[in-house]
Structure 1
Amino acid sequence: MAQLDLTRRTLLQMGIGAAATALVPGGLRPVKAFQLGDAVLTSVSDGNLVLPMSFSYPDAPQDELVALLVKHGLPTDQLLPDCNVPVLKSGERLIMFDVGSGSNFMPSAGKLLDNMADAGIDPADVTDVVFTHGHPDHLWGLIDDFDEMVFANARFHMGRAEFEFWRDPATVDAMPEERKTFAIGAQNRLAHLEDIVVLFEPGAEVLPGVEAVDTAGHTPGHMSFMLHGGPKPVLIAGDAITHGAISFAHPSWPSGSDQDPEMGIATRLKLLDRLAADKAALAAYHLPKPGEGRVERDGTAYRFVASD
């Protein structure tokens, strides 16, 4: 399976430098809020990623892949996935699910703090950060350029299996060469949480109304979170479902971004079936801004219907 070296140097060599900001889709608000009963879920943009198609879906039937992308008006040579950071205001808690990529991953991302400021959200007011997994675009925004914690007053929560995977010194050696920077970056950031992180297991109530759902595959301990308490449940899916067209029309196509592609497929199929059957809302990190909508069955596959 083709792999991609996502180091900053490689991105610059690929021509994905400062000009990549021009690839951000225009006319889309960087912040959007949804009412969930007494709580409010706000989607705050961290920008977008720029990924070669050869990395994202190397084993998909290329004629079908191109036809699907053309049908949805999307480029066929690269993916430009949005990065939507969910922020839940529930009672006295201000909960973030992941923290974006910070300034050292891709120039087209790392916009979270600016967009939080536009939304009137102060990082100092964040009470809890709940991580779906340890990939750069979800974790590296934990610290700033001076190695200081960005969300200094928050409690931090991560699934035990995910935390232990990235903190294991053997993980760097076990990762393929093009992903070693993922592990090194994760270990550097998670070292800041070593003595303060709250670890949890699948099925746990991480915070009131926030249920941990095992969605391993994208990473060994990837977690999603079902939000309860509103008129309908909402699944914070992280990267268990990543593309607004491909993940739904062809959920069995392996994704190059999944560390265990076969487990990723099984997880994706299970989630889509549950979401369609339960009519639960879906909020996913890389779906088109603001990343929130619902899943409907479409013959033997599915489709994503974005919220208005």
Structure 2
Amino acid sequence: MTSSRESTAYLTVTCKDRPGIVAAVSGFLFSKNANIIHSDQHSSDPVGGRFFLRMKFHLNGIEQCLDEFKKEFTAEVASRFDMEWSLNPAWIRKKTAILVSKFDHALMDLLWRVKRDELFTEITMVISNHPDLREAVESFGVPFRYVPVEKGKKEESEQKILDLLEGNADLIILARYMQILTPKLIEAYPNRIINIHHSFLPAFVGADPYRRAAERGVKLIGATAHYVTEELDQGPIIEQDVIRVSHRHDVDELKVLGRDIERQVLSRAVKWHLSERILVDGNKTVVFI
């Protein structure tokens, strides 16, 4: 049976908004006998703003002519509109590496979803600064790499991580990895590192937000998935969600509820990234869902 992903690709475009962009892109695809399956667009401002476009299309035989297709699109369309753009095959699984410390809820949810093919990716490895989760990870047939982070030797540890990631990661997920990444690692994977934060940012940032939320008597708790930048917890937000709570919930109950939201928010953010639904606009995102 033929896969629905065969001969299918994602085209994403960002450029200064002006008339004719959609016509040019769709006209080019029509000239190649491509069939547009989905098309989404957004303008930050029709006068002088930025234009964002995502198309999913099917073209028989594109697997054999992908490089030539890209060259022709550059010459005929992208150069004319000064586009930042990407064309990614839908039939190829992106390589994903997961970094984690001791909390396993987000990690195990991702492993389970990939095993059930709910997330179309290949998890190449799980890297941790603690050995605790080795058995659980390896039970899924995923390599586990233990890279301890010793005081005063953080850069050495990150270099080991970078060496492990080389050629093995199109996407990095921080599934409650309780270490701050250095600029060197972040710069190597711009807008390709997704973190799950156990709080509805920007409120209650930093350590132990559930305790501070309980102390404030909050009525909502949440989680935030965002791309990692050098400014801690300030990267472009991809997805958020909340759940209503009351004075009857103690700290432990808030943590249970919060971890469930973390799993859902992170899996949605990862799924959207894998299917090229997220376009970054400065420190914001345009998410076509």
TM-score for both structures, normalised by structure 1:
0.29
Using CA pairs under 8 Å that are at least 6 residues apart, name the structure with larger relative contact order, 1 or 2. Answer: 1
TM-score normalised to structure 2 length: 0.31
Asked which structure has the greater CA Rg, the reply is 2
